[in-house]
Amino acid sequence: MKVDGVRYRSVWVADDGWSIGIIDQTKLPHSFATLKLTTVADATRAIVTMQVRGAPLIGAVAAYGLCLQARTDASDEALKTAYSTLFATRPTAVNLKWALDSVMAALLAVGVQARVATAYAKAAALADDDAETCRSIGEHGLDLVRAAAAKRADIAAPVNILTHCNAGWLATVDWGTALAPIYLAHDAGLPIHVWVDETRPRNQGASLTAWELGKHGVRHTVIADNAGGHLMQHGLVDLCIVGTDRTTARGDVCNKIGTYLKALAARDNGIPFYVALPHSTIDWTIEDGLADIPIEQRTATEVTEITGRTATGQLATVTITPPGSPAANYAFDVTPARYVTALITERGVCAASREGLLTLYPERRAGVRRAG
């Protein structure tokens, strides 16, 4: 996608042919800064500090982290250590394991001399696949937005879409998952308006989704996390589209904390609740999201403090809780499949169920070997 007319992906190989470029997402929306990663430690730090975040992007940066490791020591032992370090960065998004496994399998299949070239080729293929996959998600999601547009009594009125957190191009390699249909709908000339949940505690909606949508010229309004139910009760939301960090084989989805409450409100108000995801987000090894998805718990200071820009342009962090009040910071929640109207994938739209997913991914049926 473009930033002030310049095309960017969220991760890239720099002009030197080996170091890795990223956008420092901790600086947005106040400044746009890029960073160069030159070691596996840099890649690890970028994920841990959330300079890069979003399930597919975490996977892509981890894949490039293995490339950086291979440059200095491509032995089995060194690669396995790097794999473990990168894997330990964030627990919930399954794309991380998927990407690390994909690159490791390719590396262990070739001799040490061939590993640097193999790693970069595999990581690049993975990144290109993610960009293409997200664009396809956008195409399939666009049909749903068109269907919502066709239902409006006033065809000049915008389609109101509510989204949570940031599942845009910053969270993937390009295009995004939940935001891809929105970009394509906007580009196709459909009138769109997006309700952007601020997404406390880290405010990925207010700082990243709002920034992305603004850069692309998509009409949007940032709302407090608790406003969505009220808007739905008053007919101000036509559909919800969110992303997911892990989707189970039966269609439970795990996304940024607060997603579940939006799904409940959508169900109560008869509003479609769609979840957009690439194949790399499906964890075929588990069924029950509540029981089996590890939920990341982060530092309490993300809840007790808030950072923003002052009237004089300085960044400032302030405390918003009384001294001594403990805070808990659960980063994700699980929305059971029964609250999901449909899943939007690169292969099409399906029911949030085992059968629905298997219809789109038949190679996952028992006894059928997976392609690719």
Considering beta carbons, is residue 103 or 331 the nearer one to ligand MRU?
331
79 binding ligand MRU? (CB under 6 A): no
| Euclidean distance between CA atoms 233 and 264, whole angstroms | 12
**H-run or E-run covering 192:** strand 192-197
CA-closest candidate to residue 235, choices 324, 151, 329: 151
H or E segment to which residue 240 belongs: strand 239-242
Out of 53, 122, 246, 279, which residue is the one contacting ligand MRU (CB under 6 A)? 53
What is the spatial distance between Cα 157 and Cα 22, in angstroms, rounded to a whole number? Answer: 38
Q: Which of 174, 197, 245, 283 is catalytic?
A: 245
Binding string, 331-370, against ligand MRU, x = CB under 6 A?
x---------------------------------------
Does residue 172 belong to the site contacting ligand MRU (CB under 6 A)? yes
Q: Which range in 16-24, 81-89, 227-235, 238-246 contacts ligand MRU by CB under 6 A? A: 238-246
Task: State the minimum distance, in angstroms, from the CB of residue 233 to ligand MRU.
Answer: 24
DSSP 175: S
Select the residue whose beta carbon is closest to ligand MRU and give its number: 243
292 is catalytic: no
Secondary element (H or E) of residue 181:
helix 179-187
Q: Which is nearer to ligand MRU, 160 or 209 (CB)?
A: 209
DSSP string covering 301-347: HHHHEEEEE-TTS-EEEEE-S-TT-----B-EEEE-GGG-SEEEETT
Q: Closest CB to ligand MRU among 213 and 331?
A: 331
Please give the residue ranges that form the binding site for ligand MRU (CB under 6 A): 53-56, 165, 167, 171-172, 177, 204, 243-245, 255-256, 331
Catalytic positions are 245
